[in-house]
Amino acid sequence: MNIGIVGLGLIGGSIGLDLRSRGFNIFGVSSRQQTCDRAQARGVVKEASINLSLMAAADVVFICTPLGSIEPIVRELVPYLSPDTIVTDVGSVKTPIVQAVSPLWPNFVGGHPMAGTAESGIEAAIPDLFVGRPYVVTPTAQTPALAVDKVEEIARLLGAKVYRCEPEEHDRAVAWISHLPLMASATLVAACDREGDRDIVNLAQHLASSGFRDTSRVGGGNPELGVMVAKYNREELLRSLSIYRDSLDEFISDIEAQNWEGLEHKLKLTQQARQNYKL
């Protein structure tokens, strides 16, 4: 099978590494010739180009670009595709992407592999990135079953755990466990930097350890990603942020009132609730 990948960064490159090692013919497209050359040198792809016409040979095409580029790329890609070609994406928001792209290409299957690292670019691509991680597929009632089955089959070959849901369900769920944590993490760093005494800030920077590292990691990532998830999943993100703000206000009230029993009760509940998440 010929697999096309548009966007040779962390996700696209990692898909290429894994599928090529499993015997697939992998063709890649990037906007930069330097990335194409490096992808070939690393063995991520058999062939790479800056021209989308290379995707004409693909049976399945993965669009692994930022959210804002997915629809325009599919529009450019359509003239090169055979009618049976399956197109899927890896975007972290699904509803607006599925709504925009499905009319352009009936064989489009929305997808979201929930895996990654703090790094980006072709050099960040690694084998087995998706092993044991969720891979969400979001077909609609009009999505051809054969296309859905093929994308799920490939996801399983990557070692991922496949979940199927509606695009709207996906976006509401990831607002809680991905997009809200990104914003909470970013505002944590912003709040720390508002300490007026720069000597204290400097001391805090030197004392920071695993707790601060873990809670600040996603907030210190690619700013473009943060803007894109806020733009494309705005309503669900605002909803989760509002509820988060209410919860934070409750904690503040307990501390202001020295309600240590109430605070301990809340912390016990969060301790128990966290165990329900498949971390």
**Residues ≥6 apart with Cβ < 8 Å to 195:** 201, 204
Per-residue pLDDT at 161: 97
Contact 109, 130 (CB under 8 A): no
Give the type of residue at 157.
L
> In this structure, what is the dihedral angle of CA atoms 14, 19, 20, 24, given to the nearest 10 degrees?
-150
The 3-class SS string of 262-279 reads HHHHHHHHHHHHHCCCCC
Per-residue pLDDT at 199: 97
For residue 111, which of 71, 139, 83, 145 has the smallest C-alpha distance?
A: 139
**Residues ≥6 apart with Cβ < 8 Å to 50:** 29, 30, 31, 32, 33, 36
Per-residue pLDDT at 116: 84
Question: φ and ψ at 260, to 5 degrees?
Answer: -70, -30
Per-residue pLDDT at 60: 98
Distance CA 29, CA 7 (A): 6
SS3 163: strand
Give the type of residue at 72.
P
Per-residue pLDDT at 117: 79
Q: Where do we find the tokens 């894109």?
A: 228
For residue 7, which of 95, 109, 87, 79 has the smallest C-alpha distance?
A: 87
Distance CA 272, CA 75 (A): 47
Exposed e or buried b per residue across 218-242, where buried means at least 16 C-beta atoms within 10 angstroms of its C-beta:
bbebeeebbebbbebbeebbeebbe
Q: State in Å, rounded, how far the first CA of the chain is from the last one.
A: 33
Q: Where do we find the tokens 């509820």?
A: 243
pTM of the model: 0.93
The pairs formed by 150-157 with CB atoms below 8 angstroms and a separation of 24 or more are 150/60, 150/86, 151/60, 151/86, 151/88, 151/109, 151/111, 154/3, 154/19, 154/60, 155/111, 155/113, 155/130, 157/18, 157/19, 157/22
Per-residue pLDDT at 279: 81
Per-residue pLDDT at 71: 98
Per-residue pLDDT at 47: 95
State the 10-residue block means of pLDDT for the chain, 279 residues long: 96 97 96 96 95 97 96 97 97 98 97 89 95 97 97 98 98 97 96 96 96 92 91 98 98 98 97 92
Per-residue pLDDT at 222: 85
Token pair for 47: 């062939």
